[in-house]
């Protein structure tokens, strides 16, 4: 298995993509809006991706609710943004935790139905007053301890539905003043301040099997390299200070926060300590560059990848089916009553 997770261009796997994936054997795949038309189509696409590599490869998606939903109405429901639960938490913590769990369980049901087994959620980033709207209500709360509690509830719901969560964006994206999709954010906060706030949710969730980096430059830690490409940030902050030993994915390498060719970005991310390079836009030429620059998974990277696969098997084995309509009705009634 190559140390990469790749996308595909459309709702149907092309012959060229099938051949490329069969020859490359990426660790897994990630899906976006362009890949999700309806349940039957998506189920077939997921099956085709796995068939192309000849194994039960993990298939990822970003289903956070709110602005970040790849599976959209009318085929799928419009889920509340994570910040909704943070607002409820301020006056009714018990209800917020219950609703967060129920919402994640409903998301898990939709994912499981089409064969997706990994969700790139929840965010453990903080909603900072002066932070860029790229985070905004994607974050549960400005308060680290509230984020921890709601993220735990969210993860409980995902796992109960047979889905593996990916925590993001290590080591914390809330302070960003610009959108890392378009430019490199620079965070000038001191290490002690970040340790008390930004890192706290990630430290609490350090035993998660998978996590994703953020493309931010932390000037107090490494003024020369964004976190995804920084040996210092990954080794000293993510691995040591936070204590995260799960599979570390890059955020999407095609985001404009990073410089250099796509292949160079992938190579630098792996050299810095990321386990897996994530490339999302489905461009076959760029995927070829990534695949050419990343190694076959081995050592700690392979151990961590196998732990994710093991968790996927476990949560599937203990999953209990729910009546979707009844569960949705209960969720909506409780949400409306708050």
Helix, strand counts (H, E) of the chain: 12, 13
The pLDDT of residue 78 is 94
Q: Which of 33, 56, 181, 188 does the annotation list as catalytic? A: 181
The pLDDT of residue 337 is 93
Could you give the angle at which helices 15-24 and 284-293 cross, rounded to 10 degrees?
0
Residue 165 host element (H or E): strand 164-165
Q: Which of 110, 117, 251, 252 does the annotation list as catalytic? A: 251
Please, are residues 43 and 31 in contact by the beta-carbon 8 Å criterion?
no
43: phi > 0 → left, psi -120 to 50 → alpha, else beta; which? alpha
The pLDDT of residue 22 is 98
* Annotation says 91 is catalytic: no
Three-state DSSP at 125 gives: coil
* Backbone φ and ψ of 223, nearest 5°: -75, 0
Three-state DSSP at 313 gives: helix
What DSSP string runs through 92-108?
A: -HHHHHHHHHHHHHHHH
Sign of CA dihedral 171, 172, 175, 176: positive
Per residue in 68-90, pLDDT (tens digit) is: 999 999 999 999 999 999 999 99
The pLDDT of residue 251 is 96
Residue 64 host element (H or E): strand 63-65
Residuewise pLDDT in 10s, the chain (338 residues): 999 999 999 999 999 999 999 999 999 999 999 999 999 999 999 999 999 999 999 999 999 999 999 999 999 999 999 999 999 999 999 999 999 999 999 999 999 999 999 999 999 999 987 777 789 999 999 999 999 999 999 999 999 999 999 999 999 988 887 777 877 889 999 999 999 999 999 999 999 999 999 999 999 999 999 999 999 999 999 999 999 999 999 999 999 889 999 999 999 999 999 999 999 999 999 999 999 999 999 999 999 999 999 999 999 999 988 999 999 999 999 999 98
Please, are residues 157 and 172 in contact by the beta-carbon 8 Å criterion?
no
Locate the domains of the chain by residue range.
2-337
Per residue in 26-69, pLDDT (tens digit) is: 999 999 999 999 999 999 999 999 999 999 999 999 999 999 99
Residue 211 host element (H or E): strand 210-213
* Annotation says 181 is catalytic: yes
Which overall architecture, per CATH, does domain 2-337 show?
Alpha-Beta Barrel (3.20)
Three-state DSSP at 249 gives: strand
Please, are residues 136 and 127 in contact by the beta-carbon 8 Å criterion?
yes
């Amino acid at each position: 298995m190559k140390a990469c997770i790749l996308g595909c261009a459309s709702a149907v796997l092309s012959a060229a993509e099938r051949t490329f994936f069969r020859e490359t054997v990426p660790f897994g795949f990630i899906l976006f809006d362009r890949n999700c038309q309806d349940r039957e189509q998506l189920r077939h696409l997921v099956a085709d991706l796995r068939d192309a590599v000849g194994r039960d490869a993990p298939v990822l998606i970003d289903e956070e609710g709110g602005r970040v939903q790849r599976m959209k109405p009318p085929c799928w429901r419009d889920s509340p943004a994570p910040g909704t639960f943070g607002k409820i938490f301020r006056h009714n913590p018990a209800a917020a935790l219950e609703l967060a769990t129920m919402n994640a369980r409903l998301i898990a049901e939709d994912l499981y139905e089409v064969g997706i087994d990994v969700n790139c959620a929840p965010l453990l980033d903080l909603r900072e007053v002066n932070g860029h709207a790229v985070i905004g209500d994607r974050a549960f709360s400005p308060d680290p301890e509230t984020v921890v509690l709601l993220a735990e509830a969210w993860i409980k719901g995902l796992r109960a539905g047979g889905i593996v969560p990916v925590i993001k964006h290590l080591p914390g994206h809330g302070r960003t003043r610009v959108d890392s999709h378009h430019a490199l954010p620079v965070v000038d906060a001191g290490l002690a301040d970040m340790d008390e706030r930004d890192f706290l949710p990630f430290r609490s969730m350090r035993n998660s099997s998978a996590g994703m980096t953020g493309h931010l430059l932390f000037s107090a830690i490494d003024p020369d390299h964004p976190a995804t490409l920084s040996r210092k940030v990954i080794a000293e902050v993510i691995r040591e200070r936070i204590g995260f030993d799960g599979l570390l994915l890059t955020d999407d390498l095609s985001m404009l926060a990073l410089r250099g060719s796509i292949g160079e970005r992938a190579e630098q991310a792996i050299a810095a300590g990321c386990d897996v390079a994530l490339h999302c836009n489905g461009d076959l030429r760029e995927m070829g560059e990534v695949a050419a620059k990343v190694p076959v998974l081995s050592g700690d990277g392979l151990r961590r990848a196998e732990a994710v696969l093991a968790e996927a098997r476990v949560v599937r084995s203990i999953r209990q089916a729910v009546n979707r309509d009844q569960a949705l009705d209960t969720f909506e009634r409780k949400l409306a009553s708050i």
